Each structure stands twice: as C-alpha cells, then as structure tokens.
Amino acid sequence: MTEFWFNHFNVYQQKGIVRPFAGHYAINVARAHALGKFEDLVLASAKHPAMLYYLDQWLSVSPQPARAGQSSRGLNENYARELMELHTLGVHGGYTQEDVRELARVLTGWTVAPRTQDGFQFVMRLHESGTKTIMGQSIPSSVQFVGMKEGEQAIRFLANHPATAQRISLRLAQYFVADEPPKALVDRMAKTFLSTGGDIYQVMQVILNSADFWDPANKLYRTPYDFACGSLRALNAGQDRAKWLQAFGYAAVAGHGIQNWQTPDGYAFNASTWLTPEALTRRIDFALSIARNVPERSDLYPYLSDSTANAVMKQGPSQRMGFVLGSSELVFK
Amino acid sequence: MSMNALRMLPNRRQAIVQSLQLGAFALPALSALADSAKPEGRMVFVFLRGAYDGLSMLVPHGDAHYAQIRPNIGIPKPDGSPKTSLALDDLFGLHPACADLLPLWQQGLLSAIPCAGSPDTTRSHFDAQYHWETGKPGSSSPSAGWLNVLSGMVGDGIGLHALGVGESSPRILSGPRPVQLVGNGLLATRPGTMAESKTREAVLQLYAGDQKMAKAMLEGANNRMSTAAMLKTPSMPSSSEQQAANNGAGSPQGLALDAKHLGILMRQNRSLQLGFLSSGGWDTHINQGNVTGLLANNFTNLSNALIQLRMAFNEPNDLVIMASEFGRTCAENGTRGTDHGHGNVMWLMGNAVLGGRHHGRWDGLAKDKLNEGRDLPVHHDFRSVFAQALVRCLGFRQDKMAEVFPGYRWDSALDGLFKA
C-alpha cells in the first residue's frame, strides 16, 4: 500500500531539493495514511515539503500587486493542476482550466517552513484574498474558513468527489486485481469509498472479499521493482548486500529505479508497459545470475505447473533457483 | 533516366538493404512525408543534459564584454596557438578542445545558432528537459516524447523508425509508438544469457506452457543477439566498461561509443530515420576550467563523438543537431563556474547545413541585451529549429508540424539554415 500511495502521489528526488524529504514522505505520508481516510492522505501530501517543492507549490503566491520590497512572483498552477488531474478527480473528472486557476488561488500561501518540525506553513500575506469558485463550490464558504482553511476545505471536497472515488477505486483494482479489472468490482469499491468518507481500509476490504481478487485468471505482471523485491525474498537474500545492489541495479537499468520516476503520474504498473521482449530477456539474465549457486527451495515447487516443474528439474541443482525465478509463475504475481 | 526512376532509387536501395539484413519488407510510404522529392534524410539529436556552457564552445571573442565578465574562465582571443580559441570569424571562435570540428566549419558543414532555446523561463533542469523532450514548453502534464510521436509519422508510419542509444527509457522516445532502445556503452554489445543456445532452449522450455511468454522470449532473444552481433567489435578500451554501469545519461566519454553504436545500427537498418543520444556531466557550477580543465575534457570527448557521427551520417540529407535544455550565465560566478541561464548555442552538422557561419539573431553580451541581465536570450525557439530541419532533411510536411510541436511557430528568420 505504501508503494502504491507513494507512486500515486509521486515525488521525484532529483528535482530541486526534494531528495532529503523523500524518505520522510514515504513513511509519514504514504505509509502513515495508507489505510486511513483518503482526505487525510491528500492533506498530508499537500503539506509535505517533498510535494511542496516537487510541484512548485512553495513558489506560488498571490498575483495581487506586490507590496514594496517584495518580489513580484505570481501564481504557479503546477500543484493545483496535478492535484485535480492525478491525485483526485482524474483528467476527465469534470473540472476546467478555470477551476485549476481558482484552486491555485485558494492554495496561495501554502509553503515550506524550513525551520519547523513538520516543514509546512501557511503565510497569510502570500495568500490571495477574496472568494473563489471551484466546480461550483464557493470558497471560503464562510468567514470562519478564511486562509489556510480554504485549501483544506477544497482538498476535502476534491478527495470525496464521486469522480475521485471512481478513479482511486479503479487504480487500486488495477494494482491489486488485474490490468483491466471488472467494472462491477470497481463500482462496488467506489460506492464504499463514498459511503465511508473515503475509508481506504473499507475499500480494500471490498477487494479482499471479492471473488475477482482470488480468481487465478486475474494475473498481474511483476514490475521490475516487484521482481527485484520478489527475487530477494524468494532467495532469502534480505540481508545480502551484494544481492540487494544487484537486484536494485537490475530494476534501475530496466527503467524502474526506486522512487525515481520524474513526472507526477508515477510509474505505470501494467503488463503492456513492462512485459516487452527485450525486457523479458534481461529479466531472465538477472534471474539466472542472482540465483546462481543458491540452494534450491523445494517448498516452492508445489506452486509451479507441471510443465514449468519439468523444465526446472532438467537443470542442475545450482541452476534451478534461477529458472524458478524466471518462470511464468514467478514473473507474474 | 527519367525523373520517376531517379526518385525511386533510394526506396529500392532501402528495400534491398532491409531485405538482405533484417528480413523486413518495404511498404509504400504514407505518413506525413511530402509526396514529391522525398529527401529520405536521417536526423540525430544529441542532448547534453545538465546545460552545457555554450559560450565556452562558441566563444564570442570579438565581443569586448566577454573577457570582462569571464576573467578566469573565458577562452582567450585567437592568436593561432592551441592556448586560445580557434578563429571562426571576427566575432566567434571555437574552444581549442574542439579543434577536430574546425575543418567541418571551414568546409561549411557545421553551423551554430547562438541564441536558441525554450521560451519557458524555468531554470530547473528537470522541467526544462521535460519541455524539450515533450516539445511542450511550460507544460508538466504527462505526455509522449516528440521523437516518439514523430516516429509514427515518418517512413511507412508503421515499423520502427527511431533509435535511442544510451538511456534505458528517455522521455523524448517514450510514448505509444514502438522505438528501438539500446543500452549504453558495452551493455548494448552483450547478448547476455541468450547467447548460449543451451540456455535459450531451456528458457523456451520453461515457457512451454505459456505461448505469449514463449513468443516474447524468442523475439527478445533474437533482437538482442542481432544488436550485439551488429555492434561486435574486437577491441574496446576498458575505460568504457565502467560507462556500461551508468544508468541514465552516460558520461561524455561514453558518448563516442554510443555514437558509434548508433551509426552502425542506423546504417544496418535504413528504416531508422531518427536517432537520439545523450550525455550528462555538463552542469559546471564550480571550477569549470578554461582552455584546459573539466569542461575542456568534456569538449574533447564531445568532439570525438561528433566526428563519429559525421562518419556515419554523411549522406546528402543526414543531419545532426546538438543542444542542451538551457544555457548558463554569461558571467562567471564566485566559484569559477557558471549557473543556470536561459538561451544557449545549438549546433547543426550535415551536408545540407549552410555551415561555416552562425544563424539567427545575436545582440552581443551587453547587460541590457541579456535575459534578466545575465543570460543569453532565447531569440529562436528550439521547436522552430527542429521544424526547419524536419522539413528540409526528412521532407516532413509543414502542415503536420503542429502534431509534433503543438503551438510552435514557423520562424522565417531561420529560413537560411540550410543550403538552397
């Protein structure tokens, strides 16, 4: 779940000074809220320096005339756009360019606070006053909700929107069930999402209790990162530094370095992206190499088809684990 | 020979080469190429990631401001010795580490556009490279790379038409179209476990129960073996070995090897009309050196790579274009380096290039002529440069250009970039 959410609210370590914040972000945003309320997750991400830096929100200030001595920077719509397009509603979620701009105005003043513990602050003098309208909602809705509360209100609104429920449910189902999950399942998830106020735990229950989740026909191809982690696990190599480097080196060369995707859409996780001929041969190279001379694990054999097991057993004992790793049964999950 | 017969020549030759070497079959041209007088050229883009210092390579020695604002890192006026810039004309000179490129300039095969770049003013490498690679300055929305889009509009519009050597998955080539990507350095020359027929057979047996996997496996193994076979060279300096381990953009040293691989692969498969190479290591904030030093070493390696490309791409309409995502500050900074700027020098190399001169606007280095008083301005949008190149060298239709570069504008100030 942590991996899924980090990727959904992706940040890129090589942009600006994001790097020192990325680990903190993974633990305190993606993992801390992984099974909580979706709106809390979006808010935590919105206020984290990794995201504030990554999507330039920290630079976005009110375009109202600058006071003496202030630089006249202006609105930066980068974060507001991705918040709607990727984090919540989705590109066909019913918002317009005008809504993006209004959301950016609402969020002016949200910036980093380098010397505080959580790294976030709201600066009223950078905030654009006045009423904004996002998808028909007036913000602030009343005088008590002026300032930072405007942004919180907007984010809660977006996080609980039906388009968001549908989009998050679809992506979760694609991640945990199948590249093209059954629509009925996604609809049930979205319904639960809306009726529970975006309770991710409850939405996941719908997946786990569905027949679709357990249906062997619903296979997911392991991404290079999945495959690197899965291989280390199958080889019990969690403590082996050389094998770690080899595994994550493989993932990086395959185009799936750890938390290293540049754009806010995050890594793709479907088979059409990763199951390509040349990439498959490099995966085999890696499997045969990392597992060479590792003792075989007969406890895995019951999971293999007869045809796979036959091919594995034709190899010498020192080669067998490599063939197990590279088998259809283990390149899919 | 009639005009028709002349026109058919390149196609027939292409078909023969393909059928001999790859078993591919020629398809009638559809796509966005103009119907008549197809130039059939090829274009290679060399992307120097990290913003190379164009004012050290194309040295404006004739501008009095240059020596003033670069007291330590400036390249001196030409005096005929290798300790100064090499005179190109009264205004510009070439870095002495690029001496190998001087004959190309003198023969009229190499030109420079000193104030080119992206209209977006970001100083972030990340954003600027993204804009260059998607062809959409100012937009950070997920988007296909423009070379990927273009690869679906050239040649037969169906097969593989673009090749990248070096990076595992550069944005500029990513998108819905299939492209060929080859690893950097010696990675490309290794067929891996697929070279052993026994292992190959065994892996195919492993997938005996899964036709789709078996098919992918077989196809991948064939690709890798043929790439490795084409690139097989008996001896290779061992220093390039290390480059093979670098992910992402390789180093400038690795670039010459990648350039060589690109040349070989594009010669063998003539349906590949678009090539992409990149190198990192150009972000010289500190101690960049002058006639010698860090940057000078990079220029030596870069020149080697360009010479490799010149040897492979010397047909009438072949073109090599080189650029960075933005330029560097005109003045040196407090640590004898340069910081992120805006406009930069773009280079063009090829027989069709109207070379031996610079193109486009140049207003000098006076402070009031610079972007924000510190950087070269962007007088020419990089998309306009590529648009000129695509029309001239690939015969790409101008009315289709907006599909590759939405919102670009034709820049008639660049109409003289190529020989008439």
| ipTM of this complex | 0.81
Whether A326 sits inside 8 A of B205 (CB atoms) is: no
DSSP label at B48? E
Q: Which residue of A has its CA nearest to B138?
A: A78
Q: Is B163 helix (H, G, I), strand (E, B) or coil?
A: strand
Please state, in angstroms and rounded to a whole number, the distance separating the CA atoms of residues A183 and A166.
Answer: 10
Greater pLDDT, A142 or A214: A214
- Rounded to a whole number of angstroms, the distance between the first and last alpha carbons of chain A is 15
Identify all chain A residues contacting B127, using CB atoms and an 8 Å cutoff: 15
Q: Which residue of B has its CA nearest to A246?
A: B245
Whole-angstrom CA distances from B214 to A331, B200, B202, B204 are 13, 11, 11, 6
For residue B350, what are the contacts with CB-CB under 8 A and spacing of at least 6? B41, B109, B313, B317, B318, B319, B320, B393
Token output for A86: 């990727």
Whole-angstrom CA distances from B351 to B217, B311, B318, B389, B398 are 41, 12, 7, 12, 22
Q: Tell me if chain B has a CB within 8 Å of the CB of A327.
A: yes
For residue B345, what are the contacts with CB-CB under 8 A and spacing of at least 6? B54, B55, B57, B58, B112, B113, B114, B115, B116, B327, B376
Nearest CB to A12 within list B126, B193, B202: B126
Please state, in angstroms and rounded to a whole number, the distance separating the CA atoms of residues B389 and B385.
Answer: 6
Whether B142 sits inside 8 A of A264 (CB atoms) is: yes
* pLDDT value of residue B193: 81
* pLDDT value of residue B32: 65
* pLDDT value of residue B183: 77
Q: Tell me if chain B has a CB within 8 Å of the CB of A278.
A: yes
Greater pLDDT, B147 or A261: B147
DSSP label at A28? I
Identify all chain B residues contacting A331, using CB atoms and an 8 Å cutoff: 213
Q: Which residue of A has its CA nearest to B183?
A: A253
* pLDDT value of residue B243: 36
Q: Which residue of B has its CA nearest to A307?
A: B209
- Listed as own residue / partner, the contacts of A231-239 with beta carbons closer than 8 Å and 24 or more positions apart are A231/A286, A231/A287, A231/A290, A231/A291, A231/A325, A234/A297, A234/A300, A234/A321, A234/A324, A234/A325, A234/A330, A235/A290, A235/A291, A235/A294, A235/A321, A235/A325, A237/A290, A237/A294
Nearest CB to B140 within list A78, A305, A310: A78
Whole-prediction pTM? 0.76
Identify all chain B residues contacting A292, using CB atoms and an 8 Å cutoff: none
Whether B247 sits inside 8 A of A314 (CB atoms) is: no
Please state, in angstroms and rounded to a whole number, the distance separating the CA atoms of residues A130 and A162.
Answer: 27
Nearest CB to A311 within list B126, B206, B224: B206
A 72-131 near B (Cβ less than 8 A): 78, 81-82, 85
Q: Which residue of A has its CA nearest to B222?
A: A278
For residue B411, what are the contacts with CB-CB under 8 A and spacing of at least 6? B380, B381, B384, B385, B387, B388
Please state, in angstroms and rounded to a whole number, the distance separating the CA atoms of residues A246 and A235.
Answer: 13
Q: Tell me if chain B has a CB within 8 Å of the CB of A47.
A: no
Distance, C-alpha B199 to centroid of its chain: 37
DSSP label at B106? H
Token output for A268: 């793709």
User: Strand pairing of B162-166 and B180-183?
Assistant: parallel
CA dihedral in degrees (B119, B124, B129, B132; nearest 10)?
-10
Residue that the structure tokens 């513990």 belong to: A117
Whether A16 sits inside 8 A of B168 (CB atoms) is: no
Where residue B31 falls (left for φ over 0; alpha for ψ -120 to 50; beta otherwise) is left
State the best of A82, A227, A284 to mutate against chain B, taking most chain B CBs within 10 Å: A284
Identify all chain A residues contacting B193, using CB atoms and an 8 Å cutoff: 281, 284-285, 288-289
* pLDDT value of residue B34: 55
Residue that the structure tokens 């989740």 belong to: A213
Whether B213 sits inside 8 A of A280 (CB atoms) is: yes
* pLDDT value of residue B220: 83
Whether A279 sits inside 8 A of B220 (CB atoms) is: yes
Whether A16 sits inside 8 A of B183 (CB atoms) is: no
Whether A278 sits inside 8 A of B220 (CB atoms) is: yes
Whether A281 sits inside 8 A of B221 (CB atoms) is: yes
Identify all chain B residues contacting A306, using CB atoms and an 8 Å cutoff: 209
Q: Which residue of B has its CA nearest to A254?
A: B168
Number of Cβ atoms within 10 Å of the Cβ of A4: 17
Task: Assign A59 a pLDDT band (cuts: 50, 70, 90).
Answer: confident
DSSP label at B113? E
Q: What is the mean pLDDT of residues A144-158?
A: 94
Q: Is A108 helix (H, G, I), strand (E, B) or coil?
A: coil
pLDDT less than 70: residues of chain B: 1-39, 233-252
For residue B180, what are the contacts with CB-CB under 8 A and spacing of at least 6? B160, B162, B163, B164, B265, B272
User: Strand pairing of B274-279 and B162-166?
Assistant: parallel
* pLDDT value of residue A163: 98
Q: Tell me the nearest-neighbour CA distance from B200 into chain A, angstroms.
A: 10
Nearest CB to A314 within list B126, B169, B202: B202
Q: Tell me the nearest-neighbour CA distance from A323 into chain B, angstroms.
A: 7
* pLDDT value of residue B249: 58
Please state, in angstroms and rounded to a whole number, the distance separating the CA atoms of residues B160 and B122.
Answer: 34
Task: Assign A174 a pLDDT band (cuts: 50, 70, 90).
Answer: very high
Q: Is A37 helix (H, G, I), strand (E, B) or coil?
A: strand
Q: What is the mean pLDDT of residues A279-298?
A: 92
DSSP B71-100: TTTPPPPP-SSTTSPEESSSS-EE-GGGGG
State the best of B49, B136, B207 to mutate against chain A, taking most chain A CBs within 10 Å: B207
Q: Among A1, A6, A7, A2, which Cα is nearest to A269's?
A: A7
Q: Tell me if chain B has a CB within 8 Å of the CB of A263.
A: yes
Please state, in angstroms and rounded to a whole number, the distance separating the CA atoms of residues B185 and B258.
Answer: 6
Q: In B, what residues contact A, Cβ < 8 A?
A: 124, 126-127, 130, 140-142, 168-169, 171, 181, 183, 187, 192-194, 199, 202-203, 205-210, 213, 216-221, 223-224, 245, 247
* pLDDT value of residue B236: 41
Q: Tell me the nearest-neighbour CA distance from B50 into chain A, angstroms.
A: 12
Residue that the structure tokens 């005179």 belong to: B87
Whether A323 sits inside 8 A of B192 (CB atoms) is: no
Whether B209 sits inside 8 A of A328 (CB atoms) is: yes
- The helix or strand, by DSSP H or E, that contains position B321, with its residue range, turns out to be strand B319-324
Token output for B366: 């006076």
Token output for A298: 């007969």
Burial class (CB in 10 A: 0-12, 13-18, 19+), A246: middle
DSSP label at A87? I
Burial class (CB in 10 A: 0-12, 13-18, 19+), B241: exposed
Q: Are B346 and B59 in contact (CB under 8 A)?
A: no
Q: Are B93 and B357 in contact (CB under 8 A)?
A: no
Q: Which residue of A has its CA nearest to B166?
A: A253
Nearest CB to A277 within list B141, B171, B220: B220
Whether A311 sits inside 8 A of B216 (CB atoms) is: no
Burial class (CB in 10 A: 0-12, 13-18, 19+), A25: buried
* pLDDT value of residue B5: 38
Q: Which residue of A has its CA nearest to B143?
A: A263
* pLDDT value of residue B24: 35
Question: How many residue pairs from chains A and B have C-beta atoms closer than 8 A?
Answer: 97
Q: Which residue of A has its CA nearest to B247?
A: A253
Domains of chain B and any CATH numbers: 19-184+246-414 (3.40.720), 189-239 (no CATH)
User: Strand pairing of B380-381 and B110-117?
Assistant: parallel
The dihedral through the CA atoms of B4, B9, B15, B20 has a sign that is positive
Please state, in angstroms and rounded to a whole number, the distance separating the CA atoms of residues A63 and A128.
Answer: 8
Nearest CB to B203 within list A81, A284, A305: A284
State the best of B203, B219, B224, B372 to mutate against chain A, taking most chain A CBs within 10 Å: B203
Q: Is A263 helix (H, G, I), strand (E, B) or coil?
A: coil
Identify all chain A residues contacting B218, using CB atoms and an 8 Å cutoff: 277
Whether A323 sits inside 8 A of B202 (CB atoms) is: yes
* pLDDT value of residue A238: 85
Whether A280 sits inside 8 A of B210 (CB atoms) is: no
Q: Which residue of B has its CA nearest to A272?
A: B176
pLDDT in tens, B249-302: 566 678 999 999 999 999 988 999 999 999 988 988 888 999 999 999 999 999
* pLDDT value of residue B259: 95
Please state, in angstroms and rounded to a whole number, the distance separating the CA atoms of residues A78 and B130.
Answer: 14
Please state the length of chain B. Answer: 420
Which amino acid belongs to residue B119? Answer: P
Q: Tell me the nearest-neighbour CA distance from B173 into chain A, angstroms.
A: 13
- The helix or strand, by DSSP H or E, that contains position B382, with its residue range, turns out to be helix B382-394
